[in-house]
Structure 1
């Protein structure tokens, strides 16, 4: 399965936010811990709404959390 063309800084941001767990972030965003894990590992690209919710949870602009690596 090809890797999605979107990378992210979620793991780093969670660590910088007092070592927030994947479950804590999932609760804030309204998705499961497993979904956060898959997004964080680049196995799954979030919906636009979920991406904005994740960025908002860290109080960061979308581009600081997610990077487009497509063409």
Structure 2
């Protein structure tokens, strides 16, 4: 899964620490998400898009799994 979280975060002028505080997660979680080492839960993904006032499709790019 690709995403545009870092791009959105920087366009809002948030540091990783500020974003983590707004979302109620650790800075390490934000780092892991931005480095695609951790996929956010649906609840966290919803918080992210709500904060940025966007649709989930505007932030996350879901790829179909190979069969």
Q: Structure 2 length normalisation: TM-score? A: 0.89
The TM-score normalised by the length of structure 1 is 0.84
SS in 2 for 1:60: coil
Conservation of the 8 A alpha-carbon contact between 1:25 and 1:57: no
Q: Which runs of 5+ in 2 are unaligned?
A: none
Detail structure 1 runs of 4+ shifted over 2 Å in the superposition: none
Aligned residue pair count: 65
Q: Which secondary structure state, in structure 2, belongs to the residue aligned with residue 49 of structure 1?
A: helix
Question: What is the CA RMSD across the aligned residues, in angstroms?
Answer: 0.9
How much does 1:70 deviate? Answer: 3.0
Q: Supply the distance in 2 between the matched residues of 1:41 and 1:67 (Cα, whole angstroms).
A: 14
